[in-house]
Amino acid sequence: MGLEAEYSRERVFNTPLCEQGLVGFGIGMAAMGHTAIAEVQFADYILPAYDQIVNEAAKYNYRSGGQHSAGKLTIRAPCMGVGHGALYHSQSVEQLFMGVPGLKVVIPRSPIQAKGLLLSSIRDPDPVIFLEPKILYRSSVEHCPVDDFTLPLSSAEILTPGKDLTLISYGAPLYTCAQAIEMLRNPSSTISAHISPHLRTASIELIDLRTILPWDRETVVESVRKTGRCVIVHEAPVTAGVGAEISAHVQKEAFLNLEAPVERVGGWDTPFPHVHESFYKPGPTRILDALVRTLTY
Amino acid sequence: MTTTAQCRSAKSTSANKTHLPGHPTSAFVPDLKAAFVDAKVGGIPTYRLTDGHGKLIEGVQEDSLKLGKEEAVRMYRTMLLLPTLDVILYASQRQGRVSFWMTSTGEEASIVGSAAALSDTDEVFAQYREFGVLLWRGYTVDNVMDQVFGTCDDPGRARQMPVHFGSAKHHFHTISSPLATQIPQAAGAAYALKRTPGRENDVVVCYFGEGAASEGDAHAGMNIAATLRCPVLFIVRNNGFAISTPAAEQYMGDGIASRGPGYGMPAIRVDGNDALAVRAAVSEARTRAIKEQRPMLIECMTYRVGHHSTSDDSSAYRSASAVENWKKVDNPLHRMASYLRDRAWWDDAMEEETKKAFRNEVVRAMGVAEKKKRPNLSSLFEDTWTKVPPILQDQRAELARLVDLYGKSEEWAKELPKYEDAGKDLEQWNRKKA
């Protein structure tokens, strides 16, 4: 809003409706050393540009021996559920890019995070996919510095330290995780029968992964080695999701410390539905259940 | 194009224009049959300056070519170097010395003719059959061999298949295998050129074949270049075949040139075996692209005389006699040579001497490249990301550990000496040893 008026139409402009075109265009600009910030209207529509992102942007530097790079490209796209977005206005696509060497994938959880991580992404020397949880566009409000600041990429953040269980998520579900922790502490009368009193004081370490690729393995592994228990939450389907990668690494690096199987809570392995959204997305109850099962294993 | 042309020719006043924002100057017409448009029989004409024997077409003025002896001879010499490389590297692939090759045979005039019309700083995005542009710009036979053999002197660090050339120094963006991906990239690069102080008089040149023009990225790139007014030349080599698919199964319209006006972009169809016509068309398109700040489309009609690649035997889908016939009837090299001979700029002795010198040079360079080492094993992990991230550091350390343990195995012992440092460079990353 207002950027075109401030910086001119030559710098802020419409493109034809064509994702492969606008991403390819951004790669070309970046290859000439210009900073290119491309927007895909919804993450669901990034797939026409998948070839340009995976075969081109991600490999541009490697295949040219560092002679040409698409590193000055940042692709922004709104992602995740919004309550009624159904199949094509709800998807979490991060796992589609997690196995693509050469890319960085970043997801913020709040306005301060969004600004700091986006500025880092734009200045980062590698191509970045910056996915913005659209349900937070208007709901998440906090005092955000007007001045320039950055937050580091490939660095997870421990939001609340704990010693009994590591709960990992990113983007919008972090708020659901916080709700689940609150439900564990103070279960309402309708569910309290399922949560034995000694679990209510469990100390949960909540981690915001922030960067999906290359992800902060050190912070995660260190946390699980300490707590011995790990639950990973994301909106995307479970099979071959981000949780699969994290849990495989955690079981290798923290095998002797694990007290329970690593639990993954995600969307079911179906397309993202319309009217069934509240039973599809991992809500606080499902996360709570995973916490209870992992703590009592 | 036809829609606009018909509407313009129809008698119309401002009162019978549609006013609708999608095309406000379109005129209303009540005749249903006239309202349908279709491609015209015969289609867009083909621009040529010389006939099949290299003689100037009647009415073409020598002066208008603005082509002196020095440049004309240099064009022909560059055209001759291509088949020399093709013959030797093609044979070497058959002997297993080279993993892969793609010849330029039959398309020498389209490639070198266009290269001659460009500034050496115009940014080139190519498909794979256009590295003659690099030769025109001074890329050496040694440079070619470093890429083909994947030596430690290849600026691409030996990561891609042969023919995937790239040279920042020569303003030639690194070739990649996925077809047509370079087309929207070229549009973006052209937009960047417009905004780069000091480069307003350069253009981007984007080459692709008529097969690649069927990809979605071709539509994407040409449309975005037109709407954002990008000074880019789209040069299509229409050589009649996409591997085994003949052009007749590639499109039903009037080739590729007819699509230009559909995107609001001037287009020209050129005799791609006429180096002089290609040079003239590209030169004019280049001037207009800079002056008018918009893309131009040049379709070079030619014939892929060679097989698609060393992995293809084209006799499976076209007769060998047709190909042989083609070489005799309309050979771009013969046409250019005749043009030079008619002006006493070239003779049999020069032809023989040049061919022999090129053969010697190619054989010499191959011998040198074949003896060079491949880039060291550590380089396998570099340039994926700008900095090697922890996960790749771990994987590099893992390979270091494995090479330390199993370097003398049957699998690796003969391989390691082919690389710079023979795998020793990995030792510094071996955490177990360190």
Contact B220 A32 (CB under 8 A): no
pLDDT-wise least confident of B37-41, B246-250, B292-296, B343-347: B37-41
The reply to whether B95 falls in a domain is: yes
User: For B199, which residue in chain A has the nearest alpha carbon?
Assistant: A32
pLDDT over threshold 50, residue B6: no
**Are B200 and B329 part of one and the same domain?**
yes
Q: Does B163 lie in the same domain as B24?
A: no
Nearest to B259 by CA among B207, B313, B222, B294: B222
Beta strands in B249-358 (DSSP E): 267-271, 296-301
Tokens of A85: 């977005």
Whether pLDDT at B10 is above 50: no
Lowest mean pLDDT among A198-207, B132-141, B255-264, B323-332: B323-332
- Grade residue A250 by pLDDT with cuts at 50, 70 and 90: very high
Residue B329: pLDDT band by 50, 70, 90 thresholds?
confident
pLDDT of residue B2: 45
B386 CB neighbours in chain A (<8 A) are 61, 69, 71, 125-126
Q: List the catalytic residue out of A89, A235, A245, A263.
A: A89
Q: How many structural domains does chain B have?
A: 3
Contact between B216 and A10 using a beta-carbon 8 Å cutoff = no
Judge whether B43 lies within some domain: no
Could you give the CA distance from residue B303 to residue B331 in angstroms, rounded to a whole number? 9
Write down the residue that tokens 């045979």 correspond to: B105
Q: Within this chain, do residues B67 and B166 fall inside the same structural domain, yes or no?
A: yes
For chain B, give the mean pLDDT. 93
Q: What CATH number is given to the structural domain containing B121?
A: 3.40.50.970
Specify the range with the lowest mean pLDDT, choosing from A180-189, B102-111, B222-231, B397-406.
B102-111
Q: How far apart are CA B421 and CA A274, in angstroms?
A: 59
The encoded tokens of residue A116 equal 């700091």
Q: What pLDDT, in 10s, does the model give residues A205-222?
A: 999 999 999 999 999 999
> Given B334, B352, B371, which residue is the final one in a domain?
B371
Of A172-186, B244-258, B315-329, which gets the smallest average pLDDT?
A: B315-329
Q: List, for residues B147-165, the tens digit of each pLDDT value.
A: 999 999 999 999 999 999 9
Cα–Cα nearest to A171, from A243, A98, A241, A113: A113
Q: What are the residues whose beta carbons fall under 8 Å from the beta carbon of B44, sequence distance 6 or more?
A: B254, B255, B257, B258, B267, B269
- Given pLDDT bands bounded at 50, 70 and 90, which one contains residue B432? confident
- Examine residue B140 and state whether it is found in any structural domain, yes or no: yes
Nearest Cα residue in chain A from B379: A65
Whether residue A235 lies in the annotated active site: no
A89 carries an active-site annotation: yes
- Same domain? For B218 and B357 the reply is yes
pLDDT at B77: 98
In a domain, B271, yes or no: yes
Is residue B316 one of the residues assigned to a domain? yes
pLDDT of B8 above 70:
no
pLDDT of residue B7: 44
Task: Determine contact: A245 vs chain B, CB below 8 A.
Answer: no
Q: What rounded mean pLDDT belongs to chain A?
A: 97
pLDDT of res. B322:
81
Maximum mean pLDDT: which of A163-172, B246-255, B323-332: A163-172
Question: Does residue B268 sit within a domain?
Answer: yes
State the residue range of the domain holding B8.
Answer: 4-35
> How many CB atoms are closer than 10 A to CB B392?
17
Quick one: average pLDDT of B382-389? 98
Same domain, B173 and B31: no
Q: Are strands A263-267 and B172-173 parallel, antiparallel or unpaired?
A: unpaired
Same domain, B169 and B276: yes
Two structure tokens written together for B175: 């070739």
Q: What percent of chain B has pLDDT over 90?
A: 83
Q: Which amino acid is at A197?
A: P
**Residue B5: what pLDDT?**
45
- Least CB-CB distance to B223: which of A16, A32, A52? A16
Picking from A34, A52, A66, the nearest residue to B181 by CB comes out as A52
Domains defined along chain A, listed by start:
3-136 (3.40.50.970), 157-295 (3.40.50.920)
**pLDDT tens profile A51-108:** 999 999 999 999 999 999 999 999 999 999 999 999 999 999 999 999 999 999 999 9
Helices A19-31 and B182-194: angle between axes, nearest 10 degrees: 50
Say whether both B270 and B329 belong to one domain. Answer: yes
Rounded Cα gap, residues A103 and A57, in angstroms: 8
CA–CA separation, B235 and B260 (whole Å):
11
Confidence check on the interface: ipTM exceeds 0.85, yes or no: yes
Report pLDDT for B205.
98
Asked if A290 contacts A261 with a C-beta cutoff of 8 angstroms, the reply is: no
Window from B41-50, B218-227, B350-359 with minimum mean pLDDT: B41-50
Per-residue pLDDT band at B325 (split at 50, 70, 90): confident
**Is residue B155 one of the residues assigned to a domain?**
yes
The answer to whether the CB of B213 falls within 8 A of the CB of B236 is yes
Residue in B350, B267, B317, B230 with CA at minimum distance from that of residue B45: B267
Task: Say yes or no: B198 and B303 in one domain.
Answer: yes
Nearest Cβ partner of A25 from B157, B167, B188?
A: B188
DSSP 3-state of B330: coil
The whole-model pTM stands at 0.95
Q: Is the pLDDT of residue B257 over 70?
A: yes
| In a shared domain, residues B354 and B387 | no
